[in-house]
């Protein structure tokens, strides 16, 4: 190889080296920019590993505090209100006059009821005396005598007919008369049976009506005995007054409602029926009384019962005690209860549900010419329970799996993702 060829070979080698360097630099740049672009185009996800533990059930709700024992006083008839001696919210003592009514009409009603009672007594005595039954017995006796007479006549004519001394027509007439007498007798017996049944029913109804009338008279006597003055049946607080002086009190509303303070107070709170399994009578509860500036008092669950207004809920009855309570206050509760231990808990944000059931996404990695790539795999799971933040997974994942807990974009099976550290 001469000198010129050596120079040309060296020049080509130099160019080849430069091209190789440029190629390598370009590959590095492409890889860098490719990964950089991927960081902006692929969904960015956060991961969390499943962990064992217990869920925390939060039971909360609001309700009204009411006295355990509330008296309601009603009137049966419309009466004029003469005096109202208290106001709603007043504390009263047992025997203290609350409201006075005009009972002149009540006294007149009592006289009318006594007269009606006497009329019903007379009607009952008439039902029991049995004069009508005596007449029916007499009818039966007459019908029986006639039946025996017609039977005897028939036998006599039949004997003569058999001997050829009477015609067939006479025998037929005698038989018809006997049958008619028998029907008449049976009708008389049936009439008595029907009367006895009906009479017994009438006597029973009359006695019931007499008892009702007697109780009505007793009630009117009691109302008239206090001269129309209605007094507090116990120590307590007047929570409701429905009639003013000069108006007509009626049976549509109670005259007043009295909350007996000595009997204590109770808070009623509606909760989801699924949460009712985590509480029981006797459990201590922190109660915040909103009406008293969120005053905190201690309460105790007295009863867990069905909610009559909403069959999907349960109702907690919570005993509360505080000297400031009068009834009608608004209060709220928040109860936190731990469940049993679960083997795998994941954030609620990691769990998805569609028509095929519940599932999570876990991240898998694989190598590529441009480096390690991450992609998601859909895994069907069985949900055991959940609370406000966590979901308990029965099976489908393992503790070593990395579960997607958040994503910047919606995910599908096999999507490439960028894992945020």
Q: How far is CA 22 from the centre of its chain?
A: 79
pLDDT for 360 equals: 95
User: What CA–CA distance (Å, rounded) separates 399 from 353?
Assistant: 21
pLDDT for 99 equals: 94
pLDDT for 5 equals: 61
Mean local confidence (pLDDT), 360-383: 87
pLDDT for 288 equals: 92
CB burial string 171-209: b at 16+ within 10 A, e below = beebeebbeebeebbeebeeebeeeeeeeeebeeebeee
Residue 211: is its pLDDT beyond 80?
A: yes
- Going by pLDDT thresholds of 50, 70 and 90, the confidence category of residue 194 is confident
For 84: left if phi > 0, alpha if psi spans -120 to 50, otherwise beta; the answer is: beta
DSSP 7-59: HHHHHHHHHHHHHHHHHHHHHHHHHHHHHHHHHHHSPEEEEE--EEEEEEEEE
- Going by pLDDT thresholds of 50, 70 and 90, the confidence category of residue 3 is low
User: What CA–CA distance (Å, rounded) separates 154 from 46?
Assistant: 115
Q: What are the residue ranges of helices labelled H in 163-285?
A: 168-225
Question: What is the three-class DSSP state of 349?
Answer: helix
Tokens at residue 401, please? 């799996």
- Structure-token match 């017996």, residue found: 189
Residue 222: is its pLDDT beyond 80?
A: no
pLDDT tens by residue, 156-188: 888 888 888 888 888 888 888 888 888 888 888
In this structure, the number of other CB atoms found within 10 A of the CB of residue 108 comes to: 10
Tokens at residue 298, please? 């201690």
**Which of 92-101, 113-122, 153-162, 193-202 is predicted least confidently?**
193-202
* Higher per-residue pLDDT: 371 or 96: 96
pLDDT for 212 equals: 86
- pTM confidence score: 0.53
> Do 194 and 115 contact (CB within 8 A), yes or no?
no
- Going by pLDDT thresholds of 50, 70 and 90, the confidence category of residue 131 is low
pLDDT tens by residue, 6-60: 666 666 666 676 666 666 656 655 555 555 555 568 899 999 999 999 999 998 8
Beta strands at 44-48 and 416-419: parallel, antiparallel or unpaired: parallel
Mean pLDDT of the chain: 85
- Going by pLDDT thresholds of 50, 70 and 90, the confidence category of residue 203 is confident
Tokens at residue 42, please? 């692929």
**Nearest Cα residue to 50 out of 339, 340, 346:** 346
Mean local confidence (pLDDT), 274-294: 90
Q: Percent of the chain at pLDDT above 70?
A: 88
State the distance between the two ends of the chain, measured CA to CA, in whole angstroms: 60
User: What CA–CA distance (Å, rounded) separates 400 from 48?
Assistant: 10
Question: What is the three-class DSSP state of 104?
Answer: helix
> Do 416 and 34 contact (CB within 8 A), yes or no?
no
**Which of 116-125, 351-360, 371-380, 396-405 is predicted least confidently?**
116-125
pLDDT for 247 equals: 94
Q: If you average pLDDT over each of 65-74, 205-214, 364-373, which comes out highest?
A: 65-74
**Which of 77-81, 251-255, 342-346 is predicted least confidently?**
77-81
User: What one-character DSSP code corresponds to residue 92?
Assistant: E
Residue 83: is its pLDDT beyond 90?
A: yes
- Going by pLDDT thresholds of 50, 70 and 90, the confidence category of residue 108 is confident
CA distances 295 to 259, 268, 292, 371, Å, are: 21, 17, 6, 62
For 40: left if phi > 0, alpha if psi spans -120 to 50, otherwise beta; the answer is: alpha
Question: What is the three-class DSSP state of 338?
Answer: strand
CA distances 401 to 48, 197, 199, 382, 417, Å, are: 9, 85, 87, 16, 16
Q: Which residues contact 217 (CB under 8 A, 6 or more apart)?
A: 110, 113, 114, 117
């Amino acid at each position: 190889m001469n000198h010129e060829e050596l120079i040309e070979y060296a020049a080509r080698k130099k160019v080849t080296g430069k091209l190789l360097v440029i190629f390598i630099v370009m590959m590095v740049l492409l890889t860098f920019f490719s990964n950089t672009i991927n960081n902006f185009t692929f969904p960015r996800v956060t991961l969390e590993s499943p962990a064992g533990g217990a869920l925390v059930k939060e039971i909360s709700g609001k309700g009204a505090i009411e006295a355990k024992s509330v008296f309601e006083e009603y009137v049966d008839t419309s009466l004029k209100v003469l005096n109202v001696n208290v106001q709603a919210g007043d504390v009263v003592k047992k025997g203290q006059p609350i409201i006075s009514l005009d009972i002149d009409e009540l006294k007149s009603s009592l006289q009318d009821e006594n007269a009606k009672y006497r009329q019903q007594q007379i009607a009952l005595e008439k039902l029991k005396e049995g004069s009508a039954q005596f007449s029916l017995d007499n009818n039966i006796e007459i019908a029986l005598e006639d039946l025996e007479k017609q039977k005897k006549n028939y036998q006599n004519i039949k004997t003569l007919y058999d001997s050829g001394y009477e015609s067939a027509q006479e025998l037929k007439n005698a038989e018809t008369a006997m049958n008619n007498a028998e029907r008449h007798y049976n009708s008389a017996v049936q009439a008595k049976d029907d009367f006895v049944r009906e009479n017994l029913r009438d006597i029973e109804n009359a006695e019931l009506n007499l008892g009702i009338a007697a109780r009505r008279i007793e009630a009117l006597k009691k109302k008239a005995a206090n001269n129309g003055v209605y007094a507090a049946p116990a120590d307590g607080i007047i929570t409701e007054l429905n009639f003013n002086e000069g108006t007509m009190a009626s049976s549509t509303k109670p005259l007043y409602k009295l909350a007996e303070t000595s009997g204590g107070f109770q808070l009623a709170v509606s909760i989801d029926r699924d949460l009712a399994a985590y509480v029981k009578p006797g459990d201590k509860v922190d109660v915040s009384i909103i009406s008293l500036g969120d005053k905190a008092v201690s309460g105790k669950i007295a009863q867990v019962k069905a909610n009559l207004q909403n069959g999907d809920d349960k109702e907690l009855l919570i005993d509360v005690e505080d000297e400031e309570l009068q009834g009608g206050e608004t209060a709220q509760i928040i109860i936190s209860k731990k469940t049993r231990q679960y083997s795998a808990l994941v954030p609620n944000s990691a769990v998805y549900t569609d028509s095929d059931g519940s599932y999570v996404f876990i991240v898998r990695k694989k190598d590529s010419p441009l480096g390690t790539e991450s992609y998601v795999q859909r895994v069907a799971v069985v949900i055991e329970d959940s609370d406000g933040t966590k979901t308990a997974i029965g099976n489908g994942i393992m503790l070593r799996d990395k579960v997607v807990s958040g994503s910047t974009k919606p995910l599908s099976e096999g999507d490439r993702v960028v894992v945020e550290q």
